[in-house]
Amino acid sequence: MQQLNFPSYSFRFKNSENKVSIFDAIRKKFIILTPEEWVRQHVVQYLMTEKNYPQSLLNVEKVLQVNGLRKRYDIVVYNSDGTIHILIECKAPEVTISQNTFDQIAQYNMTLQSNYLMVTNGMNHYFCQMDFENEKYQFLSELPNYQSNSI
């Protein structure tokens, strides 16, 4: 797998039937290593290591209903009260982040109501803070660090 624009992390791998899998600490199982999964696992480590979010507040690849359709988000970070703090959309490194990517996460967020959004392909990262009152988002230079008293 290619080097991503994240710090270097150590991962557990296994090879079975000529397929490499990576251990997902959130789902507590090995997942087939695809380019998108490689990005997702880096984001999980980034959130826990660099931003100090507890593993217990992270959730990966769950189904949600958007306009009556079943969709799947990549990563969410919960607040301690169960509301969603950060919604993250991961793409494979070769996928260009476009307006369509932002439209996708914005559509998901109409249901989830997250305060922050992150879109990444592992090479380029975009962070936004939601302004629900004015129905827009503001780009940020990075995500906020975990603060137990504010979440």
Residue 151: the pLDDT is 45
Quickly list DSSP for the chain: ----SS------EEEETTEEEEEETTTTEEEE--HHHHHHHHHHHHHHHTS---GGGEEEEEEEEETTEEEEEEEEEE-TTSSEEEEEEE--TTSPP-HHHHHHHHHHHHHH--SEEEEE-SS-EEEEEEETTTTEEEEESSPPPP-TTT-
Average confidence (pLDDT) over 86-108: 91
Pairing of strands 116-120, 84-90: parallel
* pLDDT, tens digit (0-9, with 9 covering 90-100), for 6-38: 999 999 999 988 899 999 999 999 999 999 999
* pLDDT, tens digit (0-9, with 9 covering 90-100), for 127-151: 999 988 887 889 999 999 998 754 4
Tell me the torsion sign for CA atoms 51, 54, 57, 58.
positive
pTM of the model: 0.91
* pLDDT, tens digit (0-9, with 9 covering 90-100), for 27-84: 999 999 999 999 999 999 999 999 999 999 999 987 777 677 787 889 999 998 989 9
Residue 149: the pLDDT is 54
